Amino acid sequence: MKLLVNLTGALLLGVAASLFLVNWTCPANLVLPHEPVFALSVRNLFWIVGGVALVAALFSLFDDQPVRQMALLAWLATNFVMYVGGVYWGGGHGLTGYLGGFSRTFGISAKFANVLGVLMLGYLLVVSYGSFLWLWWVRKRDKKFLKMPCPSCGGRIKFAILNLGQKIPCPHCQTAVTLGKYESLKISCFFCQEHIEFPAHARGEKISCPHCKMDITLKQSGATL
């Protein structure tokens, strides 16, 4: 997901730069049409859309929360879809008529610029909403799994709830482990009175105290966390 977010941020940065370039290369005395939704001139519309794309690009590239980044991209794509719908509702025939500046700046036709815009919009919709669906599926899948530490090496073991109670070799140290729900207990060492935390399934085992190195037996006297 992080790779997709970074790629999307780079694409949005390109969109913002292209819109700014179109405005900068446009002659100041050139009369531009007004779009039908907000009655803004194309020049002002490009500044606004370019600014929003720039903010979204920086957010995508530098924020460290992929869910938040995808939420912003989904919001951006949804609003753009609503805007295009508003253009058609206002009697327009798409955005091709407002993209003539791309011919002057980049040497491409307005129709081709419109196709690129549609592809970018489709990409934003698929990536943002597709990522949300993927995250929902992962969280739903993870609810069917449990985690526990290996009693021997402490390595994390993830297993399906259906396998609860089965004995398997630890994937880290190959020691036989009985899969169970992780319950943490605490006791105080009889010799040094320091606290020791241990998994509930280790009750009755004899260990060396990690603080004073004396041999003690893990008992149930500790309170469950």
pLDDT of the residue at 136: 82
Q: CA 82 to CA 112: how far, in whole Å? A: 21
pLDDT of the residue at 223: 37
Each residue's pLDDT, cut to its tens digit, for the chain (225 residues) gives 778 888 999 999 999 999 999 999 988 878 788 888 888 899 999 999 999 999 999 988 898 787 888 888 899 999 999 998 998 887 777 888 889 899 989 999 999 999 999 999 999 999 989 988 888 887 777 667 777 777 777 788 888 777 777 888 988 888 888 887 666 678 888 889 888 877 666 777 888 888 898 888 887 554 333
Residue type, 183: E
- Residue 124's Cβ-side half-sphere holds a number of Cα atoms within 13 Å equal to 27
pLDDT of the residue at 182: 65
